[in-house]
């Protein structure tokens, strides 16, 4: 491994660019400035654009009319660390605690550990290093290139759509490439042609004016925590199907070829169970686990609360309770339509005696393309060059990158999703990691991709 690439990536990972945390705003901005400086130093022209939230970094080479234009998108923001405090005498558990500090990246057995190592700094940076090597060697790239890197992906790209609209002329391109997804197994080149969308919602149920003594009033007033539990439980039928009226109306069924191809992948439901550590896999009847996460919509509770959370017991009827939900969507569902159905569902299912508020959160459209378009085939050639002798896996992903659908709407171009993270990369969790080997593969992939796309 080129030492400079590695030390630069470690420097990038040291910025605690947590987009959701207002206290980190300066760190996020410093991270953007560092990245812009890096892109300048490899020979591109870079600029940092402020937004009402976090800055956007754009860098480009000198464009020529006779070359294809490739836009590489990524994000430099990361998820919060969110770790329970280590109690006295407790030994750290890698499933709950960081074994090394999240913003002091560590190299252990050829693997880089740190927040953002996989999602998305490590993957993005392999493209930066790939371009840097090509510019160093020939001082030229085979394409017109734009790096477009945002700092709000993990909070729903709140200001990115407006930026894209405002700058759509300068950002005009033939194709977009993104490495912010996964590989199905080590060494298996993976091409992703679908992403789920997302619709976030928050439920707030309020009852009495204050917390009440549950002996004095229990039995006569509504309990907001019970109501939130009932509402959450009303989302699914016993067979795992979602019970919201009309929820599946716009769902495109998965194609027969996908079912057949996915059943032959070197990634099985048993692998999924092993990676998660869950005691069993559950979900919508009639689908394998891979089909459930890649091609079916879901309703998930991300957080739920209300009432007494302290040590011991306290006899109260809480005055309020809440649940934070996200629905993962597949083509051709839309976040606004799904939210309207969900809201109506909660309003008809809410028990009497309490007040219900259903708030809409961020949303993102799903994305589905064909793996067989010319650029898709070029990308698959590039993957074969980066991982010689291995067959390319064609998959969808369960995660969301909402901006990919926006790229299609605003710029009118498709996006190639070329993931480099492994199934056990622990994105969004403690001990997030990215093998140096994958970083190197990403650098090879970048070169092969730009060369292949130059001809398509
Ligand atoms: N890199 C992920 C998206 C992803 C994860 C794609 C796994 C494919 C497989 C991205 O950074 C992410 O976490 N997105 C959020 C989006 C949300 C906050 C709008 C997600 O999927 O939860
Ligand atoms: Zn993420």
Kindly report, residue by residue over 385-422, the tens digit of the pLDDT: 999 999 999 999 999 999 999 999 999 999 999 999 99
Question: Distance between CA atoms of 350 and 335, rounded to whole angstroms?
Answer: 22
Instruction: Using the mean position of ligand 2's atoms as its centre, give its distance from the Cα of residue 355 in Å.
Output: 34
Q: Assess whether pLDDT exceeds 80 at residue 138.
A: no
Q: What is the pTM of this model?
A: 0.94
Q: Using one digit for the tens of pLDDT, what is the confidence trace for 345-394?
A: 999 999 999 999 999 999 999 999 999 999 999 999 999 999 999 999 99
C-alpha of residue 156 to centroid of ligand 1, in Å: 9
Judged against a pLDDT cut of 90, whether residue 284 lies above it is answered with yes
Which pLDDT band holds residue 83 (cuts at 50, 70, 90)? confident
Closest CA to ligand 1's atom 6: 399
Average pLDDT on 310-332 reads 98
| Eight-state DSSP code of residue 153 | G
- Which tokens sit at 275? 């990676």
- Residues, beta carbon < 5 Å, ion ligand 2: 119
Mean pLDDT, rounded, for 417-437: 97
The string of DSSP letters for 234-264 reads TTB-TTS-B-STTTTTTPPPPPHHHHHHHHT
Collapsing DSSP to helix, strand or coil, 270 comes out as helix
Distance 389 CA to ligand 2 centre (A): 30
Residue 319 confidence (pLDDT): 98
State the distance from the centre of ligand 1 to the C-alpha of 163, rounded, in angstroms.
20
Mean of the per-residue pLDDT values of the chain: 97
| Banded pLDDT at 337 (limits 50, 70, 90) | very high
Closest ligand, as measured to the CA of 398: 1
Tell me the percentage of the chain whose pLDDT exceeds 70: 100
**pLDDT score, position 277:** 92
Please tell me the total number of residues recorded for the chain in this structure. Answer: 456
Q: Say yes or no to pLDDT of 314 above 80.
A: yes
Average pLDDT over residues 78-93: 90
Of the listed ligands, the closest to the CA of 367 is: 1
Q: Which atom of ligand 1 is nearest to the CA of 119?
A: 1
Residue 336 has what pLDDT? 98
- Reported as a pLDDT band with limits 50, 70 and 90, residue 446 is very high
Ligand nearest to the CA of 418: 1
Instruction: Decide if 394 contacts 179 (C-beta within 8 A).
Output: no
What is residue 416's predicted lDDT score, i.e. its pLDDT?
A: 98
Cα of 288 to ligand 2 centre, how many Å? 24
Cα(115)–Cα(75) distance, integer angstroms: 13
What is the number of the ligand 1 atom nearest to the C-alpha of 326?
A: 22
Tens of pLDDT, residue by residue over 202-244, are 999 999 999 999 999 999 999 999 999 999 999 999 999 999 9
As a whole number, mean pLDDT of residues 106-117 equals 98
pLDDT at position 123, please?
98
37 has a pLDDT exceeding 90? yes
Q: How far apart, in whole angstroms, are the C-alpha atoms of residue 122 and residue 208?
A: 50
Ligand 1: lining residues by beta carbon, under 6 Å? 119-120, 153-154, 156, 180-182, 198, 362, 364, 397, 399-402, 427
Given CA atoms 184, 186, 192, 198 in this order, what sign does their dihedral have? Answer: positive
Residue 149: predicted pLDDT: 98
pLDDT band at 2, cuts 50/70/90? confident
Residue 1, pLDDT score: 79
Contacts of 233 by beta carbon, 8 Å cutoff, 6+ apart: none
């Amino acid at each position: 491994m080129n030492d400079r690439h590695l030390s630069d990536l470690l420097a990038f990972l040291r910025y605690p660019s947590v987009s959701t945390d207002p206290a980190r705003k300066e760190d996020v901005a410093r991270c953007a400035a560092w990245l812009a400086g890096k892109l300048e130093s490899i020979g591109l022209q870079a600029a940092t654009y402020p937004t009402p939230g976090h800055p956007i970094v754009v860098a480009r080479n000198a464009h020529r009319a006779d070359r294809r234009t490739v836009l590489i998108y990524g994000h430099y923001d990361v998820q919060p660390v969110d770790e329970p405090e280590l109690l006295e005498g407790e030994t750290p558990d890698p499933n709950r605690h960081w074994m090394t500090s999240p913003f002091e990246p560590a190299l252990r057995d050829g693997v880089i550990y740190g927040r953002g190592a996989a999602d998305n700094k490590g993957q993005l940076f392999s493209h930066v290093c790939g371009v840097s090597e090509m510019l160093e060697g020939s001082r030229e790239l085979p394409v017109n290139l734009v790096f477009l890197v945002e700092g709000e992906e993990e909070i729903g790209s709140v200001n990115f759509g407006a930026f894209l609209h405002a700058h759509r002329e300068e950002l005009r391109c033939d194709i977009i490439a993104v490495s912010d997804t996964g590989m199905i197994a080590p060494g298996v080149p993976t091409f992703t042609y679908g992403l789920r969308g997302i619709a976030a919602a928050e439920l707030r149920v309020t009852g009495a004016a204050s917390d009440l003594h549950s002996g004095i009033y229990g039995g006569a007033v509504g309990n907001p925590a019970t109501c939130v539990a009932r509402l959450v439980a009303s989302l699914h039928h016993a067979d795992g199907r979602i019970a919201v009226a009309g929820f599946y109306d716009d769902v495109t069924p998965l194609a027969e070829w996908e079912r057949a191809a996915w059943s032959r992948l070197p990634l099985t439901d048993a692998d999924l169970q092993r990676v998660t550590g869950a005691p069993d896999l559950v979900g919508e009847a009639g689908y394998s686990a891979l089909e459930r996460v890649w091609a079916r919509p879901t309703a998930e509770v991300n957080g739920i609360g209300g009432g007494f959370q302290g040590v011991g017991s306290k006899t109260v009827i809480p005055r309020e309770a809440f649940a934070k939900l996200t629905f993962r969507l597949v083509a051709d569902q839309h976040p606004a339509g799904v939210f309207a159905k969900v809201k109506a569902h909660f309003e008809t299912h809410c028990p009497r005696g309490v007040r219900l508020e259903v708030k809409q959160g961020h949303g993102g459209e799903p994305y589905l393309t064909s793996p067989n378009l010319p650029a898709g085939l070029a990308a698959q050639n590039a993957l074969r060059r980066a991982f010689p002798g291995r067959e390319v896996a064609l998959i969808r992903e369960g995660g969301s990158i909402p901006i990919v659908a926006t790229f299609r709407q605003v710029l009118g171009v498709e996006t190639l999703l070329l993931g480099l993270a492994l199934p056990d990369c622990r994105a969004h969790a403690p001990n997030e990691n990215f093998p140096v080997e994958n970083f190197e593969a990403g650098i090879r992939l970048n070169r092969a991709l730009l060369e292949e796309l130059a001809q398509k």
